[in-house]
Amino acid sequence: MTNDVLKAIHYRRTVNQNSFTDQDISKEDLLTILEAANAAPTHKRTQPWRFVVFQKDGLTRLGAELSRIYKTITPAEKYSEATEVNMGKKATTANVAIAIVVNYTGDLPEWEELAATSCAVQNLWLAAHSIGIGGYWATPGMINHLGEFLGLEPNQKCVGLFYLGHHESEPREPVRSSIEEKVRWEQ
């Protein structure tokens, strides 16, 4: 790996609640991570990414809401109390959760706004990794029911929760099939 950017891209990993420690993520680190997200590319500079940052009691409220939604939307035959509890725990055992929101402007095809937001999330993920903070993008079905809780506008959609924490996980190589299977060279 020849430089720090390539190293970060290669070694960024999904780090989940099992590896998180209790150490608080500082406001300074959170701003570093959010500024990196804000540097993402965007067609027509619509900058469609929006974030709602949950910490402390906010995580408890988020966890309770995820559990409540799970209970509400899950058919009785599929419902499990353990899953309901676990949904809440995902939030309360992270140090920070960031709701990822796309703000659809109508100026571009929706896929472009989602693509730009995804670029922002990758920036966020790489920046966190680069300062020793782990995390991952979680997309449980409940995110489709978070609009009121998050106070979203009709043109906004939550596309995930990014859970973050200082952690104890070891660096791991990416598990990927060869790039050669995904590229056709034309000369």
Ligand X SMILES: Cc1cc2nc3c(=O)[nH]c(=O)nc-3n(C[C@H](O)[C@H](O)[C@H](O)COP(=O)(O)O)c2cc1C
Residues that bind ligand X (CB under 6 A): 13-14, 136-140, 174
Shortest Å distance, C-beta 187 to ligand X: 31
Separation of alpha carbons 71 and 83, rounded Å: 9
- Asked whether residue 43 is marked as a ligand-binding residue, the answer is yes
Between 126 and 131, CB nearer to ligand X? 126
Residue in this structure with the two tokens 């990794």, named with its chain if needed:
129
145 is in an annotated binding site: no
Sheet holding 133-138, edge to edge: 49-54, 96-103, 156-166, 133-138
Confirm whether residue 125 is marked as ligand binding: no
Q: 13 or 166, CB closer to ligand X?
A: 13
Contact 20, 165 (CB under 8 A): yes
Task: CB nearer to ligand X: give 45 or 171.
Answer: 171
- CB 76, min distance to ligand X, A: 24
Positive or negative, the CA dihedral 55, 56, 61, 62 is positive
Q: Is 13 annotated as a binding residue?
A: yes
Instruction: Report whether 100 contacts 124 (CB < 8 A).
Output: no
In whole angstroms, the minimum distance from the beta carbon of 27 to ligand X comes to 26
At position 30, the amino acid (one-letter code) is L
Using the minimum distance from each CB to ligand X, give the nearer residue, 14 or 130: 14
Of 99, 130, 100, the residue nearest 116 (C-alpha): 100
176 is in an annotated binding site: no
Question: Is 6 within 8 Å of 154 (Cβ atoms)?
Answer: no
CB of 42 to ligand X, least distance (A): 18
Binding site for FMN, residues? 12-14, 43, 137-139
Binding site, residues? 12-14, 43, 137-139
